């Protein structure tokens, strides 16, 4: 299998060449397909079969395969695709009131345009920073890099975001996830420790009070015994 990345209209030749270890195979039946549709191959030599394609739009992208049938059946697969966009696998974690910055890159290929989306249920809503300038800032750092800055984070900003790069042959998306935490989250361990200290101090204080009270009762009882003896 081979992945072939294309961002613009171009001519391409796909070739299946028989490895030397299969040189014993004779009278081979060769079939080229795009998906499940059989296509005609153009060039043929003793041990290779090729097709020439003119990729003009994204309808011509997809999987192409060549299959050689004889005593054995062997084949190869070519995946023609637009450039992949790098998002981020791990969630971006921030707190309410802070600012979050998300970034997407396109390696080796320059998009015509970038668009950012936020997932709302099953729908993806485009982010318009010109209408919501006090909330979103979109910066195209370079032709291959885009940043989305989200200001004054709230719990509503928590969720999945997508960056979409448009190329001449189609569009490609990168996925990012933002996790917005309440300010109480980092305070919880501290508050738990404080609560434990308060409980411990209270127990010690009550024990001291109880011990003193017991000692006083013992002294009063001893004094009463002495008076009684007198």
Domains of the chain listed by start with CATH number: 10-80 (2.60.40.10), 85-183 (2.60.40.10)
Going by their DSSP bridges, the two strands 43-44 and 48-55 should be labelled as: antiparallel
> Residue 156 is encoded by which pair of tokens?
């509503």
Residue range 91-113, pLDDT digits in tens: 999 999 999 999 999 988 999 99
Which pLDDT does position 57 carry in this prediction? 92
Q: Are 103 and 72 in contact (CB under 8 A)?
A: no
Proportion of the chain above pLDDT 90, given as a percent: 48
pLDDT above 70 (res 43): no
Q: Are 107 and 86 in contact (CB under 8 A)?
A: yes
Which pLDDT does position 218 carry in this prediction? 61
Q: Which of 70, 64, 65, 76 is nearest to 29 (CA)?
A: 70
State whether residue 102 is helix, strand or coil.
Answer: strand
Q: Are 116 and 38 in contact (CB under 8 A)?
A: no
Q: Are 119 and 204 in contact (CB under 8 A)?
A: no
Q: Which of 160, 164, 181 is nearest to 173 (CA)?
A: 164
pLDDT above 80 (res 120): yes
The top-scoring range by mean pLDDT among 121-125, 175-179, 209-213 is 175-179
> Residue 186 is encoded by which pair of tokens?
């980092």
Which pLDDT does position 33 carry in this prediction? 92
């Amino acid at each position: 299998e081979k992945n072939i990345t294309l961002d613009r209209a171009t001519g391409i030749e796909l070739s299946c060449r028989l490895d030397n270890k299969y040189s014993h195979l004779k009278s081979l039946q060769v079939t080229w397909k795009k998906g499940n549709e059989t296509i005609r191959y153009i060039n043929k030599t003793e041990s290779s079969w090729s097709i020439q394609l003119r990729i003009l739009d994204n309808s011509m992208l997809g999987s192409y395969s060549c299959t050689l049938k004889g005593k054995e059946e062997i084949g190869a697969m070519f995946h023609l695709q637009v450039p992949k966009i790098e998002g981020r696998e791990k969630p971006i974690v921030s707190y309410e009131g802070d600012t979050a910055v998300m970034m997407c890159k396109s390696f080796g290929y320059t998009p015509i345009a970038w668009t950012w989306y936020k997932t709302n249920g099953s729908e993806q809503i485009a982010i318009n920073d010109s209408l919501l300038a006090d909330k979103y800032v979109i910066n195209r750092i370079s032709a291959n890099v885009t940043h989305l800055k989200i200001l004054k984070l709230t719990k509503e900003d928590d969720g999945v975001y997508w960056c979409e790069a448009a190329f001449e042959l189609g569009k490609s998306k990168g996925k990012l996830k933002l996790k917005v935490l309440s300010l109480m989250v980092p305070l919880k361990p501290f508050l738990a420790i404080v609560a434990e200290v308060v409980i411990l101090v209270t127990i010690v204080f009550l024990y001291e009070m109880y011990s003193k009270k017991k000692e006083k009762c013992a002294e009063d009882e001893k004094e009463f015994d002495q008076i009684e003896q007198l």
